[in-house]
Structure 1
């Protein structure tokens, strides 16, 4: 006699286990999405901070180059006043630091 092929149907217990496994899988996916979103936010904050640091560094280098080339322009004086207040220290004709009010 021929044997019957095994049934592909799950019994009730197998169905419950399969559903619980599916739910835990979905929960894990949600947790991973939340972690990815959190990492994206941190990355955006870090990139913003990095960009502002580069901008500040570029301004410092630009100011240093202008100082080295003795370029005392009105625009530079205004920028210095805006950044540090009205008291600006600059180089005199012999390289000595002098206090000047602009």
Structure 2
């Protein structure tokens, strides 16, 4: 049996098609969960904890070059090491919601 024929038989069995559909639906579902967390849950959590924007919470771990803005994006572009714990909080909440749903 040739490799091409074996692959065609394997692909037609259905498992590969089911897996592909599952991956596509999973990717789309991940985007929905990201939106729910970023657009619905995190603003409410931020309101409860003093209107914080969690994505901009960070601690600077190195020296800041003169003239560099003290924003997370500017510091990252300047190569300054930062401990971006706010982004971690957002990703952790996203994971918890996804794990709860599954």
Relative contact order higher in (CA < 8 Å, ≥ 6 apart): 2
The two structures have a TM-score, normalised by structure 2, of: 0.35
The two structures have a TM-score, normalised by structure 1, of: 0.35
Whichever structure has more strand as a proportion of its residues is: 1
Larger Cα-atom Rg: 1
